[in-house]
Every structure is written in C-alpha cells, then in structure tokens.
C-alpha cells in the first residue's frame, strides 16, 4: 500500500504550505503531487516555488502559474489590473518563470485498479470551472479525456483543485475528489444566520489517497482522506505588508471569503441557483 498526498492552490501562502509539508512528513507519505497555482495572491510566491520543487514528486500547472508567466498585453487593462499583474510578475525570478511555464497539464496513474487522472481545473481548460454545485452532466465531463489528458480512457477517479473547496462525490461508479486549497481556502456559500465556525474553512486543506500504486487489480482496497491543518494565519499576514491587495487577501485567509463574489454569483445564475436561497 502506498500513501500519496495531493496538494493544490498554495497561492503564495508560505505558512500554510510549511504546515502541510510538516504534516505530510510526519505521516510518512510516499509521494507528493501538486496540482498547481503555487503563485498569485500571497507575497511569498518564490519561497513557495522553492519548497514545492524540493518536496513534490509531480507538479502540474495551474491557471495562475500559466497566466502570470505569459507575456500579457497591458494596453487594454485597467490601472488596477496592471498594478496587480506587475506586482505578481515581480515576485518571480527568471528561473521561476521558466519552471512554471514548463509544468505539465495532466498526470495519470492506476491505484488499486482505478485509473486516477489529475489536473488543475478541467480536462479541457486550465481555468475551467466545475464545482460541487454543478449538474450531473457537467460533473461527468470531468472524467472524459481531452487533448490535454495522458490517455484517451474515461477516468475512474478524477482529482482536481482550483475551486478552493474540498469535496468527494460519486457518480456513475466513478469518484470526483477536490483537494481543496492549501493557502486560500474559501467557502462561497455564506449566510450570517447559517454560518458555522469560520475555522472550519480557514485551514490548509489537502488530500491523502491510499492504495496499491500502479496496480490494475480492482479487488484491492483504496481510501481517501480530506485533511485540514491549522496554521499561523497572523504570521502569514504579518509577512504580507507589501501586498497590494492586502484587504482581499486578509478577507480570504482570515474569513474564508472570496474576493470577487460578483463573479461567483454570476456562475450561480448560470447554474440556476438563486443567491437569495443561500
Ligand atoms: Mn486555479
């Protein structure tokens, strides 16, 4: 039996990453896989890249890793966007940029007879969005192959990140797992009258999957564990004095509230969810 840790969406949060890597070491885990978005948002992006390089066996590319290492045309951007893009780009060394640009899209392996496919967001698009609120046909598309996948098989288990909220869901004898986010955990379903303790959200999240690695025998056991690790949020914030989006960053890592709820509400609308029902 092998134990694999799958981590994602660090977003420059060094304290959260250190806490997760410490926990992984303590549990004697065999292999660590990162699903991308190492950078953007937090100030300690370079340090996070170094830690990921030194501690992960496989690293995939996230949409932020792709976007902020691109040559972005700033001529049609707002002042605020230009400031944000420039700040994030300036956090990276030349070597960091090369490293992030070269990261692969997808990774696959068999575990206890199941084809496990990993990517940052969806098989089709690096910044696609499929969440636990989506309809079953959209969820099913996560299992399908694309030009970006390693093989043309339909996956048995899909593991992805990007939405920053952990969940496990079974459909059609297949399993979808979202690892959650190491450095930027959020919950977009919020209501002052219904909300529980925010510390259920503002933790560093990751996934452990345990089974026989590279085995094609389905008659073997497999298990999934969603892990939540508390970390020093105050220390992380104190290191971010230069952060040009400090108030949004603080709201996310202290209160688990996403910075751009208007965008989320639009996606609720597309999915037929009335925001007033939440
Ligand atoms: Mn992402």
CA of 10 to the centre of ligand 1 (A): 10
CA of 64 to the centre of ligand 1 (A): 6
CA of 217 to the centre of ligand 1 (A): 33
Please write the tens of the pLDDT for every residue from 11-21: 999 999 999 99
What predicted TM-score, i.e. pTM, was given to this entire model? 0.96
Give the number of other CB atoms < 10 A from CB of residue 207. 23
Q: Give, in words, the CATH class of 2-277.
A: alpha beta
CA of 259 to the centre of ligand 1 (A): 14
pLDDT class for 268, splitting at 50, 70, 90?
Answer: confident
Helix (H, G, I), strand (E, B) or coil at 157: strand
CA of 25 to the centre of ligand 1 (A): 25
Please write the tens of the pLDDT for every residue from 239-263: 999 999 999 999 999 999 999 888 8
CA of 12 to the centre of ligand 1 (A): 12
CA of 220 to the centre of ligand 1 (A): 33
CA of 212 to the centre of ligand 1 (A): 29
Q: How is the chain split into domains, by residue range?
A: 2-277
CA of 121 to the centre of ligand 1 (A): 7
Helices within the chain (DSSP H only): 14-26, 45-55, 63-67, 79-90, 94-101, 136-141, 233-238, 246-255, 261-270
Residue 56 above 90 pLDDT? yes
CA of 161 to the centre of ligand 1 (A): 7
């Amino acid at each position: 039996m092998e134990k694999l840790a799958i981590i994602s969406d660090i977003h420059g949060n060094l304290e959260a990453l250190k806490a997760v890597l410490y926990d992984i070491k303590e549990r004697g885990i065999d292999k660590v896989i990162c699903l991308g978005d190492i950078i953007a948002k937090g100030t300690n992006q370079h340090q996070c890249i170094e830690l990921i390089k030194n501690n992960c066996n496989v690293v995939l590319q996230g949409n932020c890793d792709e976007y902020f290492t691109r040559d972005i045309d700033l001529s049609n951007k707002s002042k605020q966007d230009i400031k944000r893009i420039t700040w994030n780009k300036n956090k990276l060394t030349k070597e960091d940029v090369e490293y992030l640009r070269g990261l692969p899209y997808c990774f696959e392996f068999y575990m206890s007879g199941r084809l496990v496919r990993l990517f940052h967001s969806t098989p089709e698009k690096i910044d696609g969005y499929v969440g636990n609120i989506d309809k079953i046909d959209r969820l099913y598309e996560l299992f399908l192959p694309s030009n970006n996948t390693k093989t043309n098989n339909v996956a048995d288990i899909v593991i992805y990140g990007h939405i920053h909220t952990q969940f496990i869901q079974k459909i059609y004898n297949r399993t979808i797992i979202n690892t959650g986010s190491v450095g930027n955990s959020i919950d977009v379903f919020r209501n002052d009258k219904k909300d529980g303790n925010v510390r259920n959200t503002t933790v560093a999240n990751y996934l452990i999957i345990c089974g026989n690695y590279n085995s094609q025998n389905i008659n073997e056991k497999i298990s999934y564990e969603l892990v939540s690790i508390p970390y020093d949020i105050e220390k992380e914030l104190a290191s971010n004095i230069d952060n040009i989006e400090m108030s949004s960053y603080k709201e996310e890592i202290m209160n688990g509230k996403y910075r751009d709820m208007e965008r989320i509400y639009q996606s609720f609308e597309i999915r037929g969810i009335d925001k007033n029902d939440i």
